[in-house]
Structure formats: C-alpha cells, structure tokens
Structure 1
Amino acid sequence: MKVLKRMILLSIFFFTILSSAQNGGKMKKKFGMVDTDNNNKISLEEMITFYKGKKTKKGTPVDAKAMFLGLDSNDDGKLVLKEFIKPVNRKKASEKSKNIKKVAIKQVSLAKTEKLFGLMNTNGDNVISKSEWVKYQEAKAKKLGKPAKNVNLKFLGTDKDNDGKITIQELLLDVDWKLAKQRQKIQ
C-alpha cells in the first residue's frame, strides 16, 4: 500500500512538472509572438496590437491594457518573460487603471485651465484682475445669450488668498462658494 501511495504521489509530481514545463513553453512561444520588435520586452503597444480583435473564453474582447497593467509587477512599463508567464493581478490592474484615468483627467483639466487663463489674462501680467474676470464672464454670457450670474461672487470664491487677483493655481481649484458668501457679507 505504501508503495502504491508513493507511486501515485510521484506520478502526480512528475505530471505537475511536465504540465508546468509545457505551459511555460507555450507562454514563452506566445511571449515571442507578442514581442514583435524582439527586444525581450513587451510594451503596452505590442500587447494591444497582439490582442486586438481577440476574445476571451467567455466571448468578450480581451482587455490588453488591463492585462498589461496586471502583469507589470515592477511598474516599468515593459513586460519581461518572468512577468508575462505569471497570472494577471486583476486588483493591481484595476487600481492602476483608476490612477491613469485620474492623471489623464488632471492633464486635460490643466490644459483647459491654462487656455482659459490665457483668454482671461488680457494684459499678460500672469494674474486675472477683477475687471478682466468680469469682462470675460460678461462676454461669455453674452455669447451664450444668457445673463452673467454671480460674477462677483465667483471671483470672491476663486480668489483664495483674497488679494484681488486670481492666479492659475487658484483658477485650477473649484469655486469655494462658502468662502465667497462669507466675503460677500463682509463687503
């Protein structure tokens, strides 16, 4: 009986090793197919190109970006074979995706704010005076065919340091309505 148990355990052990080696060989071959520039590293672009149009076993499109983010364990933006053959860390992929979206939103917001600041700062002194603010807000409202609302209140809530000027840093922040109303009461 002991001999039979040992034989079964040895069979399972060797089967596991053989299966793992075969799977490793398949993954190495797939790695070579994805690594189109043959630099032994897979970029996000290579991953997306390889999986474009491919489906999962469930029939949904392969999310190559999420897969890449979940495999890139050292966050260097490249996958080496050691990373590629490991299971995808879905939790890490999800967290990285959220962070990437936040950064992208901030970059878009910054670009839009810089453009807006340039439009308002008509005298080029790198601050928006109250008169520049009012002039811009009224012109914008007129263009939209609406009356300019809360122009002074918005200025008070945007001018965080209450120096009578708005910097680009202040413009990046949301209007502080509570602060604006407090300042309005004082005036």
Structure 2
Amino acid sequence: MPLYATRPRLRARQLAADAGLLAWLLVWVLVARTVHGAVLVLAEPGRAVEDLGTSVAGNMASAAEAAGAVPLVGDDLAAPLDALGAAGTSAGSAGQAAQDAVGTLATVLALALVVLPVTWAVLRWAPWRLRWAREARAVRAMAVADPHVLAARALATAPLSRLAALPPGTAAAWHAGDPAATRALAGLELDRVGVTLPVWR
C-alpha cells in the first residue's frame, strides 16, 4: 500500500500532516510530563508524614525495648511507648497512602492529557490517509488493468478546465479506442489522486 503521493504538492501536504501529528503528540507528551511533575509535588507532605511516622515508630520501639528491661515496672513503662510507636506506624502508613493517591492522580492526568488530544487528532488524520492509500492502490491497479475505466471517470468528474487543456478531439479519440487519448484522460485521474506510473512518462 503506497504511503505517499508521487505528485509533489500532494506529497508535501501528506508530509506536513504527518509531521503535524507527530508534533501534536510531542507537545502533549511534554505537557503531560510537566503536569505529572507538578502534581507529584503534592506528595511531599505525605512523604514528610511518612518519614515522621517512621522515625517516631523507630524511636518509640527503641525506647520501649529499653523501658521493658527495667525490673518490675518495665512492662508498664513500655506499654505507652509501644502505643506511641503504633501511632507513628499508622501515621507513616497514612503518609504512604497519600503519596500513592497523588501518584495515581498524576499518572491518570498525564495519560488523559496524551490520550484524549492525540486520539482526537488521529481520528481526523487516519481516515484521510487510509482513504488516499486505498484509492491510490486501486487507481494504480486500474491504470494497468483497464485504463479505460479511469478515462471514463476523468470525463465524468474532472474539472472542465483540466479537460479543456487536453488536445481537441481527445474525448472522440478515446471513444474510438485511441490509446494515446485513453492515457491522456486516465492521466487526469492519476493526477487527481496524486500518483503516477513510470510507463506513462
């Protein structure tokens, strides 16, 4: 399946459309990365809470272990310290959960900022490119198998200015089966689609 027209003007349009799509994708990827980084800044308080909770839990665990070694009253001294350590662990878990939530939000926003606009652009770009590729393939095949069909289509659909530019009597010559007239008319259809066949040059 051909990807680009051989006619310079149409090929330039196709290349510009493809480059525009890639540029559009790149822009939104950069925007998504920026937004992702900006949202992740919101995770800093959660990270601070996690660090504080982990530190408190570790310190209280050490203190409880030391207090537990005191004869007779060790268990009584260690109990409140263990409770404080458990509270620190809970605070650390809450901080981690907040970071996870912010990370998920940042990822979802980044994906949405890429997927939605790029999908919109692809849905506008792909049908046009695929339609041209199918038509170009069909026209190439028809030009070899039965150029009379292309000549008839050109007579029916080509602008009058293009038909008027042909030598006088081209239509009558085509009706009479003149190969040169057939090639001239079929060439208009090839020009419209933007393809050419080397054997016609």
TM-score, normalised with respect to structure 1? 0.29
Query: As a proportion of its length, which structure holds more strand?
Result: 1
User: Larger RCO: Structure 1 or Structure 2 (Cα < 8 Å, ≥ 6 residues apart)?
Assistant: 2
Q: TM-score, normalised by structure 2?
A: 0.28
